[in-house]
Amino acid sequence: MRVGILGAGQLGRMLALAGYPLGIDCLFLGGDRNSPAGQVSRILEGGLDDNAQLDALAAQSDVVTFEFENVPAEALKRAAAGAPVHPSVDALAAGQDRLQEKRLLRNAGIPTAPYVAVSETADLRRAESELGWPQVLKARRLGYDGKSQRIVHSAAELAAAWSELNRVPSIAEGWVRFERELSLIGVRGAGGQTAFYPLSENVHTQGILSTTVAPYQDPQLQRTAEAWLKNLMERFDYRGVLTVEFFHTEAGLVANEIAPRVHNSGHWTIEGAETSQFENHLRGVLGLPLGSTATRGHAAMLNLIGRMPDPTAVLSIPGAHLHDYGKTPRPGRKLGHCTLLRSRREDVEAALETLKSATP
């Protein structure tokens, strides 16, 4: 079995590594031999706008998927002419435009932050009137890890922020006062069967995920989030992994973003679950039975950003696992992650603090 994958970053790398034990081969397009995926798997060198390579990828694959949501929809449509594509182009498009994303969530009965679409100067005045302060201004497309976003506290700051974003189509969101950030990862198979991992609790620093601890045990929130995620999956006849990020507020869950792919907040599943999100994504898109999402205890994940730690310092911590993506270090760049497992949540949180002190 071969899965063609658009994109060749660290998520693709982890998909390839999850596939090998099952005899699944991954073939990539969108990078070179030095990219994280290219270091561990075969890669067709070229861009995602290279029609000849897109055709070659589809011709050599049983199914085509993608490892990041900013894949051009036209590339996915081109690949779909030669092989089944999962998740669908429609699911990809829903996660690429923040305005479409908000409308999708609202139509599915899932609460979101109040928002105003911004495409002209008059919309800034509407945002001021309807949303109050502070607000978050986000470009509708191509923003991730806090990029193309600005927190603003006045009309003057809002206008300046939109100018900084080059006045591209944007969305202004009212500020959500939350207690914590959570995410839910689910997977859907060919026959409509679904499986869900437990809610994960996430901490972001400057828009980039810093730590995740799982499971976040709240049965009512878990049931609510699973019902919402299942609804979204059924709307797209989805196959593969889908993630929704939430704010947990006094009133309950408020959806922030969807990600139609394997997700950074699910890296803990490699060591912390019976079946990782990466293996389950491959199972889902290939039509194989889904694996158990049961946890092996309490897990924590620490993203390694900008610099890699001394491996000896990390691996001297009992139960620590180090994942190096093979990237060249630079400020703000995700270079790897570490995970920890313990039988109790308080123990894994304490071990996470020890791990933080061992990393730059």
Confidence of residue 145 (pLDDT cuts 50, 70, 90): low
**How many angstroms separate the most distant Cα atoms in the chain?**
58
- Residue-averaged pLDDT of the chain: 95
Residue 260, number of CB atoms within 10 A of its CB:
27
Nearest to 266 by CA among 354, 339, 349: 339
Please tell me the CATH code under which domain 2-85 is placed: 3.40.50.20
Could you give the CA distance from residue 100 to residue 105 in angstroms, rounded to a whole number? 9
Domain boundaries, the chain: 2-85, 114-174, 180-357
State the fold for domain 114-174: Dna Ligase; domain 1 (3.30.1490)
State the fold for domain 180-357: D-amino Acid Aminotransferase; Chain A, domain 1 (3.30.470)
pLDDT, residue 360, reads: 77
Could you give the CA distance from residue 308 to residue 106 in angstroms, rounded to a whole number? 40
User: Helix 277-286 to helix 10-19 angle, to the nearest 10 degrees?
Assistant: 70
Strand partners, 321: 339
Q: Do domains 114-174 and 180-357 have the same CATH topology?
A: no
Global confidence as pTM: 0.95
Residue 143 pLDDT greater than 80, yes or no:
no
The set of residues, in sequence order, having a beta carbon less than 8 Å from that of 318 and lying 6+ positions away, is: 351
The set of residues, in sequence order, having a beta carbon less than 8 Å from that of 263 and lying 6+ positions away, is: 183, 185, 241, 243, 277
Q: What value does the mean pLDDT take over residues 150-176?
A: 95
Per-residue pLDDT of 19-36, as tens digits, reads: 999 999 999 999 899 999
